[in-house]
Structure 1
Amino acid sequence: MTSPDAEEFETHRPRLFGLAYRMLGSADEAEDTVQTPISATAAPTARPSSTRAPGSPRSSPTSA
């Protein structure tokens, strides 16, 4: 990460880690939680096209 946003994030990282640690009670989980936004920003921004066949119905949110 080299963008200005990344630099800004890094300045707040210790505080975010501290908050996450106090909330989660685990250093490993806190680090994972703080790392997630970094991973998300490093991921490609292009979204894959839908894999649903044309004309197929969408599944309802209540279906299991």
Structure 2
Amino acid sequence: MDSSDRNKPPQPPGGPHLKARRPKGNGVTEDAFDLWLQRGLHQLYDDVASEPIPDALLRLIEDDRSRKDK
């Protein structure tokens, strides 16, 4: 697996048209495609989501909060 493969979501099991349902321990079923999509999105975006929020954006948020409080 090269580095370009890391940026691609995994192939869906049986294709996106497959509607295999798998019961979970609490009786809730998950669609196989939904599970594939969730894992693929986590694989692609977890690194970005864990990055710190830039200081300039934090200042904008705080300025907006202070304006709303007035």
- For the aligned pair, the TM-score class normalised by the smaller chain equals 0.3 to 0.5
TM-score, scaled to structure 1: 0.36
The structure where strand makes up a greater share of residues is 2
TM-score, scaled to structure 2: 0.34
